[in-house]
Chain A
Amino acid sequence: MSWILPPSASTFASDIDFLYYVILWITGIAFVIVEVGLVVFIVKYRARPGRKAEYIQGSTKAEVIWTAIPAVTVVVIGLMSGGVWNDVKGRNSVPAGAIPYGVHAQQFEWQISYRGPDGQLGTGDDFTVRNQLHIPVNQPVVMRLTAEDVIHSLFIPAFRVKQDAMPGMTINVWFEATRVGEFEIACAELCGIGHTTMGATVTVHTADDYQRWLADRAAAADR
């Protein structure tokens, strides 16, 4: 029953997680103030014989205080969020030199395409693998996310990546993995009968292993 986010493995995950914990603390404090306040009032002001309630209409000072403090708090959270949002999803957020991959979502598979030896995505030597994304570690990558039929959503929890795949659009999703290993991909938008089975895997390789894997797969695709 944890409020701790699962371990992450991408560069911007720590920024997102930090925001989460800031909000968790702030909302946690507000939660305690209100709930404890309610309990105190329930006990202290319960009806007892001989008591009377105080005829109070309100307090302008109180209204100002409890308008201003929440307002300032949410504006601060908003400004902090804006910076991170711009870095992750902004128009110019994709780092130069990010390796491109094609991710085509369809009912109910992910078709991942890799640029072939010519180094260009979208040419004849590209090859496609079902449900497996292989990327090198410590290297920005960008998914050119498309959808064949209905809306799907590329969700990689460990990287704090999520982006809806929209039929008729190509959307850039960039990230940079910080650890070698295997991580899960899920579809996070109801897409039909098989929505539950649209799992896939991201395998993060060392730079050398990645080159080896690429060469193997490109050769296999040639057959």
Chain B
Amino acid sequence: MATTALPLEKTTHATHEMSFVRKYIFSTDHKIIGIQFLLMSFVFLLFGGLMAMMMRWQLGFPDQPLPAGQLLPETMAPGGFLLPEFYNSLVTMHGTIMVFFAIMPLLVGVFGNFLIPLKIGAPDMAFPRLNMASFWIALTAGILIMAGFFVEGGAAGAGWTSYAPLSASPEWTGVVGGQQLWLVSLAVVGLASILGATNYITTVVNMRAPGMTWFRLPLSIWALFVTAILVLLAIPILSGAAIMLFFDQTIGTHFFDPTDGGQPLMWQHLFWYFGHPEVYILILPAMGFVSDIIANASRKPVFGYHSMVYALISIAFLGWIVWGHHMFMSGMNPTLGMAFMMSTMIIAVPSAIKVFNWMGTMWRGNIMFHVPMLHSVAFVSMFVIGGLSGVFMASPPVDIYFHDTYFIVAHLHYVLFGGSLFAIFGAVTFWYPKMFGKLMNPLLGKIHFWLTFVFYNLTFFPMHNLGVGGHMRRIYDPSQYEFLQPLAPLNTFITVSALLLFAAQIPFAVNFIMSWFNGEEAGENPWNDNGLEWIVPSPAPHGNFAELPIVYRGPYEFSSPLVEEDFLPQTRKLDSDTEPAAASAAE
């Protein structure tokens, strides 16, 4: 496919004028689609956060009605007191929305779309119309899942893991349509993800500019590429399982119903066979962004670039053989427990390698602590905590105690929030100028960062201690248990911290919106970075590059002895450089 040989004048959308609707609503421009995913995801991040606040209120102040709780209907919170079934729905929907409609689209939908063509030197994605479809399908899925709150019986209430038989029949939860809408929504958003993944893989394989060899790709692109492969392979498993469960709910099949020969354990195997690669989908792109940002801020090459690539690939590969560690207590054959334990222990190693390489990148650097770097360092320090807590659960005997306790809740939030969400804040700040042509206000950025960092740790670190005390998860009323009563003050402390954490996001929202209109104008390359996106105007124009970029080196040539400046863009030609072969992009 002679994509790079194609003269840029021949791409159709570079020249004609379009209506507002074609340009900004039904756009096929990967950058606009990325921004659409950004706005959609922030809305769902807000919804997910509000649900968490309601859950925390119940755990911290169970005898006080929820503030403004009288606005909620009687079926959810009569008199402002949450009903247990509504609490179960909140637990379920918080998890589902954060995973599928906030973190995943923020990492993959936003930055996959926005960065890939720009950073590899392509004018757009391989399939722009498919790309547009991917967004609108994802948005439809988001509407479907929220619709669960408005149907009789309420929203899905069997946990984001939706274990059968609880999820298979309304008899067990009292939820009818909500559980079905949940499955349909996941199948639909899964389709959006698969379309996106197809696009990303094809684009990275086929549309790299001349000289952009595989080992000159930035780690953000490597991470997005590997993630896209995971998405393509993992999501169809969820879709298949969702269809089977949907049939159990609606047309009388018994895939997961033991009274008619079905197997509840099979749901868990199917879900986690998807679910474990899914959690790597939720972290790998973040690792990629952080690599780019730490190198930029340290003014140094990424330490061990090749190791970093191999570590990404190993994590993705090993991620397929660890799923049973979610099922140590499930009743599956205990010998499987041993096997999954070993693979889970081993997968800690490539993550450790990455942490040391990030530190190695900072070592002997000349570090600028701009806001993206603050978030990236927070990523490393929080991800390490999340990774280390995972070692406890990887040991099946220790998991006996910790499974389904707040220790797990602490672990998952350290990797998903402490990890992915901080990386997202950093990445949004870093690439904001390229998206909108303005810089986000650095003072507001620092205030947001520090408030978030402090209240985040005050919220989630104590959850480890709740777990050590044996506090179960998904529990509406811990006071029912004498052994949990001494932990009640800790629950209240966590709730107060969580409320403050939620409030601490206000500076970010204000910064995001205000900077769009009033922010300082950004030049082409405000961070003095080497990537291809920084050689085009801010915001990046339709079609991206006025002429085909030629790549002469890797993306991390900071403080190179070859030049005076402490950065050396990938496309800058030095006298010592030779032209790459025109066909190199096809390798």
Contact = CB atoms under 8 A, between A and B. Distances in A.
A–B touch (CB < 8 A): the answer is yes
Interface of A: 1-6, 15-16, 19-20, 23-24, 26-27, 30-31, 34-35, 37-38, 41-42, 45-48, 51-59, 62-63, 66-67, 70-71, 74-75, 77-78, 80-82, 84-86, 88-91, 107, 149-151, 153, 155, 157-158, 160-164, 166-169, 171, 184, 186-197, 199
Interface stretch (B256-264, B269-277, B509-517): B256-264
Interface string B278-309: 00000000000000000000111101111100
Contacts of A161: 400
Contacts of A90: 334
Contacts of A54: 300, 364-365, 559
A186 B359 contact: no
B76 to A, nearest CB: 13
B165 A1 contact: no
Given A89-B337, A190-B159, A150 B559 contact: no
A175 B307 CA distance: 46
Given A16-B400, A195-B474, 6 more contacts: A34-B380, A78-B394, A80-B395, A155-B472, A162-B400, A195-B84
Contacts of A190: 88, 91, 158-159, 163, 166, 473-474
B384 A35 contact: yes
A78 B298 contact: no
B401 A16 contact: yes
A45 B362 contact: yes
- Of A3, A80, A82, most B-chain CB atoms within 10 Å: A82
Nearest to A58: B304
A5 B362 CA distance: 37
B329 A199 contact: no
A81 B399 CA distance: 10
B305 to A, nearest CB: 7
B536 to A, nearest CB: 26
B46 interface: no
Contacts of B389: 27
Contacts of B505: none
B121 to A, nearest CB: 23
Nearest to A51: B366
Question: Which label, helix, strand, loop or mixed, suits the secondary structure of the A interface?
Answer: mixed
A26 to B, nearest CB: 8
Contact of A78 (B172, B299, B341): B341
B331 A169 contact: yes
B450 interface: no
A70 B349 contact: yes
Lowest 3 A-B CB distances belong to which pairs? A168-B258, A157-B470, A74-B345
Contact of A57 (B298, B303, B472): B303
Contact of A38 (B166, B342, B377): B377
A180 to B, nearest CB: 17
Contacts of A167: 165, 258-259, 264
A53 B329 contact: no
A19 B391 CA distance: 11
Given A62-B304, A196-B477, A81 B348 contact: no
Contacts of A82: 338, 341
A191 B300 CA distance: 52
A20 B337 CA distance: 17
B582 interface: no
Nearest to B295: A53
Contacts of A195: 84, 88, 474-476
A169 to B, nearest CB: 5
A6 B469 CA distance: 6
Contact of B265 (A48, A51, A166): A166
Nearest to B404: A188
B569 interface: no
Contacts of A37: 359
Nearest to A54: B364
A54 B298 CA distance: 10
B334 A45 contact: no
A81 B398 contact: yes
A86 to B, nearest CB: 8
Contacts of B166: 150-151, 190-192
Contacts of A163: 329, 331
Given A35-B384, A153-B329, A53 B300 contact: yes
Nearest to B393: A23
A186 B487 CA distance: 16
B299 to A, nearest CB: 4
B533 interface: no
B392 interface: yes
B560 A78 contact: no
Given A2-B468, A81-B341, A199-B481, A149 B304 contact: no
15 contacts: A3-B465, A20-B401, A34-B380, A53-B298, A58-B301, A58-B303, A58-B304, A62-B304, A74-B345, A74-B391, A78-B342, A81-B396, A151-B165, A157-B470, A195-B88
Interface string B336-364: 01100110011011001101110110111
Nearest to A28: B388
B403 interface: yes
A52 B334 contact: no
Interface string B357-384: 1011011111111000000010011001
Given A5-B468, A55-B559, A189 B172 contact: no
A48 B558 CA distance: 16
A219 B124 CA distance: 81
Contact of B365 (A23, A45, A70, A187): A45
A2 B401 contact: no
Given A15-B397, A55-B561, A63-B307, A34 B381 contact: yes
Given A57-B301, A85-B396, A164 B330 contact: yes
A62 B360 contact: yes
Given A62-B360, A66-B352, A150-B166, A57 B369 contact: no
Nearest to B163: A151
A164 B173 CA distance: 18
A15 B159 CA distance: 32
B566 A53 contact: yes
A15 B396 CA distance: 12
Contact of B345 (A75, A157, A184): A75
Interface in B25-75: none
B166 to A, nearest CB: 4
B84 A58 contact: no
B529 interface: no
B470 A38 contact: no
Contacts of B364: 45, 53-54, 56
Contacts of B398: 16, 19-20, 23, 81
- Taking each of A19, A74, A149, A195, which has the highest tally of chain B beta carbons within 10 Å of its own beta carbon? A74
A91 B337 CA distance: 12
A97 to B, nearest CB: 21
Contact of B366 (A47, A63, A186): A47
A23 B392 contact: yes
Contacts of B391: 23, 26-27, 74, 77
B24 interface: no
Contacts of A194: 84
Nearest to A191: B166
